[in-house]
A and B are shown apart, each in its own frame.
Chain A
């Protein structure tokens, strides 16, 4: 089964080809090495999936990476059911995005650079999902973050783009701070960083607590929460979600691949991969579920009022990632991964459709300037409509099965589960609403752009529309592998993943399952109808509502002012302390004052001491008198 090594290393090879030869030799043909490499990875991934379906899994080391004292860690690969699913998701979406970009990025001066980064990203993401230990996971984690940074800031001449890239990297570092400490805690607790022995021994430690900085904390809870910090950053959950909307500065295929389908789901993958650890800590699980649930609702509310087509989809992504954490937090890891898998297709499709729209509109992202595009771009319109139906949860489409699974599992888990079920159901309403608001504003009604833009409107070339159609097939059919028994399906998806993710028994009745399902379909339909009413029938309603609830509207429009808050409590104080306290005072006045002052002091003392030998008898006399006095004083004190 050694051929699995081709999966990550083909894209790595393509990266080096484009990096070294791209600027001079390959240039406009840069898509060939990268696209062929990822096609190869996809083919091998399918072979691996077939192997795994036959029950062959694998866990082996390539070489020992770091050895120091009792610490050692390898570069190694674990291929099991979860890995196989992730491999298919990553390579298939990546391949389609590679193809799409041939059209979308055509003629860009950084064409070779774009494909080099895409290949590097694909390599890193594959290393992440194939790792058999925590440190390689961390490697992939940081490396995908780097590619994200490079690709967000791909058009680096634009100030907003380079700012966004930097922001993404640094915000993620805050999460990775916790993640890194978590990895260290895992090693110090278990003496190894390999997944399997850690999972095997975790059960024995479930009750152990540790004193950290004066507090008694449950060890497993602490480890799980530290690791979860990383997931919060990478998957853009509250409070570290701020980087993802800005990440839309990157080229749209990047948003589809990295900021929708693959990288941002790494956090969900991590929690699912480490489910034996998380499951042992009810407290950590509740945190995961609540963070997910609150984020799902929070991001959905912001998406309601945004006008930038990509940002709406970005907030939608944050919200959908929240659903996945919701699932993990209630122990339904398979449901979380199921949603990750269907979401990859319909969300990548949404982004690529948005890219197709922007391509036609000359880079325009403001939906207020669009409208009526369905006449000009039928393929984009139909595929985007289907993707929107899928995310809204139209029965039969991919998004329906996975979202329904999550809501049902949350409800049946009880406790915190019911809370997040409510959050999730309300979010489902909002999701349908903002998704169709987007469709109606963009594709229906009259065109609101400039004459010049109207003149250029066209459907995208085949190289872009064919990937849309293929992803559309995914958005429709991807869920069919996980149809619940209630609807006559076999739930094969969670059965397949059961060896890794366990098999949670639902404690609810069929009636309750029908109820959650019916409710979610109902609210989704409500959301679509509301959008129809607001944006097709009666466009004054949203305007009047915005007038009427101005404070609420501006709260949402300004994304709850979180960016402003962070600027005020993190960014500005850091710069202030650096400039005024450290450089201005400690380093400047205090340390440098002493350093530069000392020679002066010596000089000053020298000048004083020199006076002793000034040749004036009265001074000598005075000093002699003082000396005699001191000698007598000392003698008296010691004698008496």
Chain B
């Protein structure tokens, strides 16, 4: 489809260049900074829309491809494109950024310009990660994303922001360094950075296993999988609202996306062999992450830990390695982005008014903020997988896929649904029901701007819940292709090896 402009480059570099151009705005013109950021993010969103309307759902091939030589001596290219696995993340990123700009309007009061620059830079880098088809380019975006996020937590965060920011940085960096080693080894063995070419090659199984674990380190930290999840509660809790939203909605999806884009197609043998380990870790994350929530007294920390549980569902689906599991996993990433993003927005709205994240400081909110209570209820229900809302579609497909792959995994994952209802409804009760807490008697009702940001996400919650085909339809072909690659796309000699590692 010809749309008259290089779409992906535009949505990557418009925020980056736009963000940098904010530097030109002088001191004291913070209103201008905000409006300019809003304009940039809105324009990016509009320019990205052809991805939604013009995407060809009948092919697994990369679309909107742009390819230019970059460092020809090493075969490095500027090579970007999207397929059914990545396209939804690009769309989610452009949407979430607008909401982050809006929600930070009044809450960020210091270094406003620098804040908005960071947000826009992150947007560009995130989209870059999802579009890159060249390993070198991918790694550049992957690391570029880290710095503005580090700043957002470390500069605009809560009281323990420095601890959280450094923890986030170190955790992620340790993982990334191992992946870098993996990328270099891949290049030395194959002579290419081209991800699509690599995805069609057959590497020796022993090498696959080493590389699988090297990449695993980077992705598992990002997801985050048990037991490398402890950076997440700190980062989420200390980050400003926009930071938490970006983290929850997009950043932690990078890990699961990495599994889909790299671990499965590049190291299919290793991935198959490691399935039991991955399913096990996922199930532990689901139950463990859920149980931790019962002990939390801090609002943001509770939602952060619930992410560990929900991302456990995602990795379970991916490593179920069947259509329902993988499609459910991808959809659940989108769902989690919408719902947890929305929950963090909600928390931000009351935090702005009370400056407290302690659950015990609330109670009876439904009386003073009825509309807000309605939105929060909707997102709570979506989070616990009520049929008719988006969370159900993802969770159901994942449990179905998980059960198909390994019955015990499916059964244990389903207990996560009980646990989820337990902690979320308890949270809702403590925040909204019971006697009105006197600390919040004079809390202001919700503003129109806040309601509109939540409304966007609420519409998506219902849309995906009632008619998920709009979104699942993007991925059928690409997921089918991926699974073919994992299960059948191997020369015969490799099939023999598979039986050897089968008992791993």
Query: Chain A interface (Cβ within 8 Å of chain B)?
Result: 19, 23, 63-71, 135, 138-139, 142-143, 146, 149, 153, 156-159, 161-163, 166, 169-170, 173-174, 176-177, 180-181, 184, 187-188, 212-213, 574-575, 577-579, 582-583, 586-587, 591-592, 595, 599
Contact = CB atoms under 8 A, between A and B. Distances in A.
Contacts of B407: 212-213
Interface centre among B374, B414, B421, by most A CB within 10 Å?
A: B421
A550 to B, nearest CB: 36
B381 interface: yes
Given A23-B370, A66-B397, A582-B291, A157 B418 contact: no
26 contacts: A65-B466, A66-B393, A66-B396, A66-B468, A66-B469, A66-B472, A67-B472, A68-B476, A70-B323, A71-B324, A135-B396, A142-B388, A143-B387, A146-B381, A156-B433, A157-B364, A157-B433, A159-B433, A162-B433, A181-B411, A184-B410, A213-B407, A574-B422, A583-B296, A595-B167, A595-B231
Contact of A181 (B414, B421, B467): B414
A162 B400 contact: no
Interface in B392-428: 392-393, 396-397, 399-400, 403-404, 407-408, 410-411, 414-415, 417-418, 421-422, 425-426
Contact of B425 (A23, A64, A170): A170
Contacts of B411: 181, 213
Count chain B CB atoms within 10 A of each CB in A143, A173, A177 and give the residue with the most.
A173
A578 B292 contact: yes
Contact of A138 (B227, B387, B404, B433): B387
Contacts of A587: 230, 292
Nearest to B415: A177
Q: Which of B323, B400, B415, B472 has the most CB of A within 10 A?
A: B400
Contact of B295 (A170, A181, A212, A578): A578
A170 B422 contact: yes
B434 A181 contact: no
A149 B388 CA distance: 16
A31 B381 CA distance: 26
A574 B425 contact: no
Interface string B292-329: 11111000000000000000000000000011100110
A-B pairs, 4 with minimum CB distance: A69-B323, A578-B294, A162-B433, A139-B387
Contacts of B421: 169-170, 173
B295 A157 contact: no
B319 to A, nearest CB: 16
Contact of A64 (B231, B414, B469): B469
B386 A143 contact: yes
B430 to A, nearest CB: 9
A86 B403 CA distance: 34
Contacts of A169: 421, 425
A157 B434 contact: yes
A179 to B, nearest CB: 10
A574 B421 CA distance: 14
Interface of B: 167, 170-171, 227, 230-231, 288, 291-296, 322-324, 327-328, 364, 366-367, 370, 374, 381, 386-388, 392-393, 396-397, 399-400, 403-404, 407-408, 410-411, 414-415, 417-418, 421-422, 425-426, 429, 432-436, 466-469, 472, 476, 480
Contacts of B167: 595
Contacts of A162: 429, 433-434
A69 B418 contact: no
Given A139-B388, A157-B435, A579 B294 contact: yes
Contacts of A574: 291, 294, 422
Contacts of A153: 429, 433
Contact of A184 (B392, B400, B472, B476): B400
Contacts of A163: 429
Given A169-B425, A574-B294, A67 B469 contact: yes
B328 A68 contact: yes
A549 B171 CA distance: 66
B474 to A, nearest CB: 12
Given A68-B397, A69-B322, A591-B227, A142 B468 contact: no
B131 to A, nearest CB: 25
Contacts of B296: 583
Contacts of B418: 170, 173-174, 177
A68 B323 contact: yes
A157 B370 CA distance: 13
A57 to B, nearest CB: 26
Given A181-B414, A574-B422, A159 B435 contact: yes
A582 B292 contact: yes
Contacts of B231: 595
A565 B296 CA distance: 25
Majority secondary structure, B binding face: helix
Contact of A156 (B366, B403, B467): B366
A253 B246 CA distance: 45
Contacts of A66: 393, 396-397, 468-469, 472
A267 B114 CA distance: 58
A161 B293 CA distance: 23
A149 B377 CA distance: 12
A633 B299 CA distance: 61
B414 A180 contact: yes
Given A184-B403, A574-B422, A592-B230, 14 more contacts: A64-B469, A66-B468, A138-B387, A153-B433, A159-B434, A159-B435, A162-B429, A174-B418, A177-B415, A181-B403, A184-B410, A213-B411, A583-B292, A586-B288
Nearest to A180: B414
B291 A578 contact: yes
Nearest to A146: B386
Contact of B387 (A142, A579, A586): A142
A583 B403 CA distance: 29
Contacts of B429: 153, 162-163, 166
B288 A582 contact: yes
A587 B434 CA distance: 31
Given A184-B399, A184-B410, A578-B291, A69 B324 contact: yes
A177 B288 contact: no
Contacts of A592: 230
Contacts of B467: 63, 65
Contacts of B397: 66, 68, 71
B13 to A, nearest CB: 35
Contacts of B227: 591
Nearest to B435: A157
Nearest to B425: A166
A180 B388 contact: no
A159 B364 CA distance: 10
A213 B407 CA distance: 8
Contacts of A143: 386-388
A68 B474 CA distance: 11
A575 B358 CA distance: 18
A58 to B, nearest CB: 22
A571 to B, nearest CB: 9
B434 A156 contact: yes
B223 to A, nearest CB: 15
A591 B422 contact: no
Nearest to A23: B370
A187 B435 CA distance: 46
Contacts of A599: 170
A180 B399 contact: yes
